[in-house]
């Protein structure tokens, strides 16, 4: 296989010269219609790469080496003492030195060969396998790493791992204790931490000015050490067979990432819940506006739910986020299922809320085309009266309603189903929670149970007091349920 010099240079940069990584790239290149484009976009997370790593690389290592590689993949750098702490074994330094000497997976960071790192592509694949093999283990590993770095005089890394572990109190305490030194050293720029402690607890350290916004203390400093601000941005994404698609994204930017996908009711139907999720649980919530909704342009070639799933996989690549839980309601749940079926290593789990998309005998999805808004509300809510507009309250603009309905039909047709989806759900190999509003008369609870039954690692939870839009009708209850299910 021949590639132009620029493409070869790009591959070498992406794999950091890692020989096995270059071989993995060659495997993925085989049969690719545009090798130069592949080389430019190659990240090491393609399915062929992941399968090769698991089948050919990890299985050839002794169990103790596999455990060391997986558990230390959460670190940007590792030494023997840290490796022993995270594995519970001994001899980590010797193992790392042996691997480095063999030219296998690690590179030393100094002449004394006491600190090591993994090529970025290899580390990403290891983290993927860790999430799949032991999905609840990462937080504890980050917590242990934070304690070690704090005890050994590395506060920046300690704070980062405290953040990753979700231990905000520890992150805030470490920041308060070490701020003067970090500020003087210019390291504050690397730290981003939402803090739930009252502002006065943080004021004695001197430099930052603090204010309370919602339930979090937002600190602004010249080094931008802590910040959280809702933002909206538009990304131009290239989708094969479609071309450029502009996607407008609301991004409640904190740490743990969620991709929140709206249904036919439009972006407003998830915006409030996204804000609640971000504020209460210190989550990063990414909320794209599906092209065609609320006046957003939609290329004619983007005409399927599977196409939307590929678009959002590209969005996650552009944002470079990992360990993403995808939450989708109605057709957004269908998109979430299709996105999970793409096997992106960036996605670690999915929550389907009153999702549509499958065909279930005896439980058809109600066709709402041609129904009045009042009729749709009666089918959608446990208590429609709560959401009926008051006298004189203007409803949505008719042109916008018509455009949204056209976009919805363009993606899912009037039936809102794909006859093949039910069978394909058996291919999913990540945790999925199916949550269903008990009063849903668009897609009944029996339909929801069939969804969960089709997915090997799925659970099903019926939610009383809610219909087709639990995030609108009972957002607090839904948030608590998601937390109880361990998805955040």
For the chain, the three-class secondary structure string (H helix, E strand, C coil) is: CCCCHHHHHHHHHHHCCCHHHHHHHHHHHCCCCCHHHHHHHCCCCCHHHHHHHHHHHHHHCCHHHHHHHHHHCCCCCEEHHHHHHHHCCCCHHHHHHHHHHCCCCCEECCCCCCEEECCHHHHHHHHHHHHHHCCCCHHHHHHHHHHHHHHCCCHHHHHHHHHHHCCHHHHHHHHHHHHHHHHHHCCHHHCCCCECCCHHHHHHHCCCEEEEECCEEEEECCCCCCCCCEEEEEEEEEECCCEEEEEEEEEECCCEEEEEECCCCCCHHHHHHHHHHHHHHCEEEEEECCCCCCCCCCCCCCCCHHHHHHHHHHHHHHHCCCCEEEEEECHHHHHHHHHHHCCCCCEEEEEEECCCECCCCCCCCCCCCCCCHHHHHHHHCCCHHHHCCCCCCCCCCHHHHHHHHHHHHHHHCCCCECCCHHHHHHHCCCCEEEEEECCCCCCCHHHHHHHHHHCCCEEEEEECCCCCCHHHHCHHHHHHHHHHCCCC
> Which has the minimum average pLDDT: 36-45, 133-142, 152-161, 306-315?
36-45
Model confidence pLDDT, tens digit, residues 50-102: 555 555 567 778 899 989 999 999 998 999 999 999 999 999 999 999 888 87
Please state, as a whole number, how many other Cβ atoms lie within 10 Å of the Cβ of residue 430. 21
Residues forming beta bridges with residue 247, ordered by sequence position:
235
Average pLDDT over residues 123-147: 85
Residue 135's pLDDT is 75
CB distance 252 to 274 below 8 Å: yes
Per-residue pLDDT band for 422 (boundaries 50, 70, 90) equals: very high
Average pLDDT over residues 324-351: 94
| Mean of pLDDT over the chain | 78
Most confident of the ranges 4-18, 91-105, 347-361: 347-361
More confident residue, 348 or 451: 451
Model confidence pLDDT, tens digit, residues 206-218: 333 333 233 333 3
Residue 379's pLDDT is 94
Average pLDDT over residues 403-424: 89
CB distance 481 to 353 below 8 Å: no
Residue 288's pLDDT is 95
Average pLDDT over residues 453-470: 93
More confident residue, 50 or 44: 50
Domain residue extents for the chain:
5-59, 230-484
Q: Give me 180's structure tokens.
A: 């003067």
Residue 402's pLDDT is 82
User: Which residues are CB-contacts of 439 (< 8 A; sequence separation ≥ 6)?
Assistant: 381, 382, 465, 466, 467
Residue 105's pLDDT is 72
pLDDT at 370 over 90: no
pLDDT at 327 over 90: yes
More confident residue, 12 or 426: 426
**Superfamily of segment(s) 230-484:** Alpha/Beta hydrolase fold, catalytic domain (3.40.50.1820)
CB distance 482 to 454 below 8 Å: no
Average pLDDT over residues 399-423: 87
Residue 178's pLDDT is 67
CB distance 328 to 353 below 8 Å: yes
Residue 410's pLDDT is 86
Average pLDDT over residues 382-410: 77
Q: Give me 160's structure tokens.
A: 């980062």
Please state, as a whole number, how many other Cβ atoms lie within 10 Å of the Cβ of residue 19. 10
Residue 6's pLDDT is 60
Residue 195's pLDDT is 37
Residue 78's pLDDT is 93
More confident residue, 282 or 361: 361
pLDDT at 151 over 50: yes
Residue 206's pLDDT is 34
- Give the length of the chain: 488
Average pLDDT over residues 107-123: 79
Model confidence pLDDT, tens digit, residues 153-166: 888 888 888 878 87
Average pLDDT over residues 366-395: 82
């Amino acid at each position: 296989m021949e590639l132009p010099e620029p493409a070869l240079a790009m591959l070498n940069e992406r794999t950091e010269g890692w020989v096995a990584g270059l071989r993995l790239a060659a495997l993925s290149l085989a049969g690719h219609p545009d090798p130069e484009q592949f080389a430019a976009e190659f990240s090491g997370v393609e399915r062929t790469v992941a399968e090769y790593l698991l089948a050919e690389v990890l299985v050839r290592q002794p169990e103790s080496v596999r455990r060391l590689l997986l558990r230390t993949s959460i670190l940007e750098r590792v030494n023997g003492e840290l490796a022993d702490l995270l594995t519970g074994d001994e001899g980590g330094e010797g193992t790392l030195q042996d691997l480095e000497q063999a030219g296998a997976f690690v590179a030393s960071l100094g002449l004394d060969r006491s600190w090591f790192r993994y090529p970025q592509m290899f580390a990403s694949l290891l983290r993927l396998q860790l999430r799949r093999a032991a999905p609840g283990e990462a937080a504890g590993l980050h917590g242990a790493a934070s304690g070690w770095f704090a005890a050994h005089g590395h506060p920046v890394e300690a704070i980062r791992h405290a953040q990753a572990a979700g231990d905000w109190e520890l992150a805030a305490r470490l920041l308060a204790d070490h701020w003067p030194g970090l500020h003087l050293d210019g390291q504050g720029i690397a730290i981003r931490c939402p803090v739930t402690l009252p502002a006065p607890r943080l004021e004695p350290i001197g430099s930052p000015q603090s204010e309370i916004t919602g339930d979090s203390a937002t600190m602004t400093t010249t080094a931008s050490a802590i910040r959280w601000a809702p933002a909206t941005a538009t990304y131009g994404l290239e989708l094969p067979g479609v071309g450029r698609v502009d996607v407008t994204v609301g991004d409640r930017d904190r740490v743990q990432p969620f991709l929140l996908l709206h249904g036919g009711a439009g972006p407003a139907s998830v915006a409030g819940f996204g804000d609640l999720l971000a504020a209460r649980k210190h989550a990063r919530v990414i909320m794209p506006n599906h092209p065609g909704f609320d006046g957003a342009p939609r290329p004619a070639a983007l005409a399927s739910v599977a196409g939307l799933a590929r678009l959002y996989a590209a969005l996650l690549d552009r944002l470079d986020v990992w360990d993403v839980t995808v939450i989708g309601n109605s057709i957004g749940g269908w998109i979430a299922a299709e996105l999970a079926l793409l096997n992106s290593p960036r996605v670690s789990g999915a929550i389907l809320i009153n999702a549509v998309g499958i065909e279930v005998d005896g439980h058809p999805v109600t066709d709402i085309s041609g129904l009045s808004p009042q009729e749709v509300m009666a089918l959608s809510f446990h208590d429609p009266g709560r959401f009926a507009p008051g006298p004189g309250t203007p409803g949505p603009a008719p042109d916008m309603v018509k455009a949204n309905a056209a976009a919805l039909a363009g993606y899912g047709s009037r039936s809102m189903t794909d006859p093949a989806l039910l069978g394909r759900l058996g291919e999913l190999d990540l945790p999925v929670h199916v949550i269903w509003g008990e009063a849903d008369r668009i897609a009944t609870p029996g339909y929801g149970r069939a969804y969960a039954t089709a997915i090997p690692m799925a659970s099903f939870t019926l939610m009383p007091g809610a219909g087709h839009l639990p995030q609108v009708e009972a957002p607090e209850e839904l948030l608590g349920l998601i937390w109880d299910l361990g998805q955040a």
